[in-house]
Structure 1
């Protein structure tokens, strides 16, 4: 399916030749087999890409929104038509089941479609003046060259969620995908190429993350860095960007609670809790990391969740009946095991799973695991696990559980299960999170804002809010004869 060596650096409309002494191997996390080699670019390639984006900016930014939207529409259409092939590539490099991968590709196309429509809606504002001799208006203008740094857990949708609004706004871009999953990025750039994107508007650099990131941070041609990834890296980007007062748009880690109240529909709540926790094998920034269940329904809830989890099949993502693929690396697997060991040592009780992987598959597999009697001092209740480990803690009081849910530096997503409208509004207003799901664990859609508060980020992606990150607001004050 994929050649031995794959060109992965795209600058000013040209795929660059690969220096055989500067490559990196991309591995399949399910089999540990090498898939291909890609270029190991660095500071030089990044600077060339930024220069190309800077030269392309005047022409691209001065196009009408409708002109830009035609290319975005075409790219969205091409992605949808090619979703199965793109999904297969995503599964091979990332590990998630093919049905999830195809769903991600279609979702990624959805972001391009949404921002194709938003490209013509970069509205300004006419400000009513308090003085007869003044007229005042606000004009939105694209910020300039955007450096986009994307993660491995959603290697297609995280790209289009950034490139879609940036391109619609009139910005040009330099993309650095995760070194674990560059192949989806390559295919998306090829799609834009086929859709008629002018040279220099999109540029792609794979390779040395430190060198690429440093050039993005220090090069004055880059006006905005948009990043999805860990909170630790986000803090680093903020510190380093301060020297130029460079704008950073950050979507960072999470530690999402699920709260199942006494009136929850247990069948629905357990199914959705499972879908949230084990989607992408728990490697999702908005997936549930801790589960609070009211004591009156805890036994029934736990038993039903156990029954459903034990039906999940762990296996190769390309196999049709696979529910869970591998984790992305051995380090990820070790973190899950460390959180489990810590919890069991501190008194948690194993409900299901828990053993180290003993299957025939050689990849980074990890059995889906539930524990109960979780306490607040356990790592799994304090840190983002990013894996298939689900801790359950019971509660008796609404005030108590809200306090526990909010007791974290993270503030990305939280979920509640209740059939009570008053409780829905009361709790949703008090939870300190940027996204609240009520009987819903799939809140990410192109038309709605996505983003956290506290140490989970400082920006919104999606909806008309997503365009704001890439637009400067220029105020024009005009004196006239009165």
Structure 2
């Protein structure tokens, strides 16, 4: 059984108090025995070295307490006094070394995510986001933006400079703990230091990432001990300690919108800067002249990980003139999506954690006029219908009116299960365009919006008037990543009152203007 320790002040820390993580394949295919073995290990009835323990449990991980959390904060604070004095060039080299190590550790890292329960295709997509978000082109651009000469006036040279806020604390979500946490690497560009709390639900790959990639690059570049700290612990207690600590400057929170907005207000009231990454209920729009094959392929990303990801498309707005052609293309492809174990390279779906919510939202949509056109049944990991199954067959709903759709819970609220409303938008082209724009701009969430379209005229209109999202993608995969553009960030309930595309290096620093007079 592998052991994953914490990292505080540059030292591996074995607390002697452990949590246990099973093989996801075993948890899904043999839940009763997996649960029994894990319980017996905790109670001391089975030894960690036993054959049965090794068969069902992959690893144990250390748990920290209040003293360890406070020690990590003090370590980060002390390291900040030194690290902020490192040159931008030195910090950039460190980040580029992280990139090289990330690529080197790719296979091992993805395997850990699969063990945690991420289907391989999902894990590979997450890795691509991490790679693109920290590739040399992106890092070079960020470093240019962090310190830049912006102009000259008479005998003055004028600069923008991003100054570090100080100690940044980050809490990660269970559904994407490792990949989301890697955004924390970017806060180091300006000289901040960081304390990362991996999710208790899936801490293994996150600990591996920060210790085997980031900490190794830190050692190679002789960064001060304490620049990077990893503490797994009680989320509420750790958050309260961060809020009350005079050493903490910024807090990055990933999670549900309702909880996140509440936490954000507390962070602000504590005199600290909140950076919020919250719920998503993304919209994909299809114009009448769209490439239906590519558009339907992009919409199928809705079901990656059974829709339990914030930035997949979860609502489709479809021009009436192309709806039937688009639907036929979608139906041909959706039938190939099957349930399976995470280790199966063809698996797209994951066990659904909110099956009751799925049933409630489905019932609400049907009562309000939606029609099921595909799916709607529970499955087991063998892709066989099973009333007790952990999976749900991808479900398509047809909704023939945008006003009707706007009142459905699956549209108004974030969904975390494979339920996709296809909303037919009717009228003249001008009316349909206006309805789509209004629908998207009035939507309560705004991580990403994507549109598939050929018309140059309407492309310009959508690009100009679609306001409500951190990212707008035109004629590209909804969940695609691009260099220079952040992988994260959103508006309204997706990011709070300061929500936008989140450049984490920018959000955790402050802009200083500098004027240097060349002669007196």
2:120 corresponds to 1:84: no
Measure how far apart 1:145 and its partner are.
0.7
CA distance in 2, matches of 1:428, 1:166: 30
Match of 1:14 in 2: 11
1:178 is matched with which residue: 199, 203, 211? 199
Please point out which of 130, 145, 165 is paired with 1:108.
130
Equivalent of residue 456 in structure 1, options 488, 494, 501: 494
* 1:384 lines up with 2:414 in the alignment: yes
TM-score by length of 1: 0.88
Shift of the alpha carbon at 1:359? Answer: 5.0
Q: Distance in 1 between matches of 2:344 and 2:376?
A: 24
Aligned-pair CA distance for 1:456: 1.7
For residue 400 of structure 1, give the secondary structure of its aligned residue in structure 2.
helix
Q: Describe the shift of the 1:220–1:453 C-alpha distance in structure 2 as closer, same or farther (beyond 3 A).
A: same
1:261-286 deviation per Cα after TM superposition (whole angstroms, max 9, x unaligned): 222222222111112x1223212222
Structure 1, residues 20-60: CA drift from partner, whole Å, max 9, x if none? 3x646567364444543333334322211110101111221
Kept in 1: contact 2:184–2:194 (CA 8 A)? no
| 8 Å CA contact 1:11, 1:52 repeated in 2 | yes
Write the mapping of 1:382-461 to structure 2, written as runs, cut at 5 A: 382-396=412-426, 397-431=432-466, 432-440=468-476, 441-449=478-486, 450-457=488-495, 458-459=498-499
For residue 210 of structure 1, give the secondary structure of its aligned residue in structure 2.
helix
The answer to whether the Cα contact below 8 Å between 1:80 and 1:105 also exists between their aligned partners in 2 is no
Aligned position for 1:242: 268
**TM, length-normalised to structure 2:** 0.82
Q: CA deviation at 1:295?
A: 1.9
Contact 1:9–1:204 (CA<8 Å) still a contact in 2? Answer: yes
Do 1:162 and 1:461's aligned partners in 2 also have CA atoms closer than 8 Å?
no
Are 2:358 and 1:336 aligned? yes
Cα distance change, pair 476–258 in 1 and its aligned pair in 2 (3 A): closer
Query: Aligned with 1:158: secondary structure?
Result: helix
User: What displacement does 1:12 show?
Assistant: 0.7
Q: Give the secondary structure class of the aligned counterpart of 1:147.
A: strand
How far is the alpha carbon of 1:346 from its aligned partner? 3.2
Please name the residue that 2:208 is paired with. 187
SS at 2:135 equivalent: helix
What value does the CA root-mean-square deviation take over the aligned residues? 2.7
Which consecutive residues of structure 2, in runs of 5 or more, have no partner in the other structure? 35-56, 427-431
Equivalent residue, structure 1, for 2:283: 257
* Cα gap change, 1:443 to 1:271, in 2 (>3 Å): closer
Deviation at 1:87, TM superposition (A): 0.5
Stretch moving more, 27-36 or 50-59: 27-36
Does the alignment pair 1:356 with 2:378? yes
Say if 2:155 is the partner of 1:155.
Answer: no
Contact 1:140 1:473 in 2 (8 A): yes
- CA gap of 1:224–1:388, structure 2 versus 1, over 3 A, is same
Q: Does structure 2 retain, via aligned residues, the 8 Å contact 1:256–1:413?
A: yes
Q: CA deviation at 1:177?
A: 1.9
Judge conservation of contact 1:353–1:367 (CA < 8 Å) in 2.
yes
Q: Are 1:278 and 2:278 counterparts? A: no
Secondary structure of 2:414's partner? coil
Structure 1 residue runs of 5 or longer lacking an equivalent are: none
Q: How many residues are matched?
A: 468
SS across alignment from 1:297: helix
Q: CA deviation at 1:400?
A: 2.1
Query: How has the CA–CA distance of structure 1 residues 314 and 480 changed in structure 2, closer, same or farther, with 3 Å as cutoff?
Result: closer
Residues 461 and 379 (structure 1), Cα distance of their counterparts in 2 relative to 1, 3 Å cut: closer
Secondary structure of 2:297's aligned partner: helix
Distance 1:135 1:26, change over 3 A: same
| Greater shift in the superposed pair: 43-52 or 187-196 | 187-196
The equivalent residue for 1:207 is 233
Tell me which of 501, 508, 511 is aligned to 1:473: 511
Q: Distance in 1 between matches of 2:519 and 2:216?
A: 52
Query: 2:47 — aligned with what?
Result: none
Deviation, structure 1 residue 389: 1.1
Change in 2 beyond 3 A, CA 1:347/1:324:
same
Question: Is 1:220 aligned to residue 213 of structure 2?
Answer: no
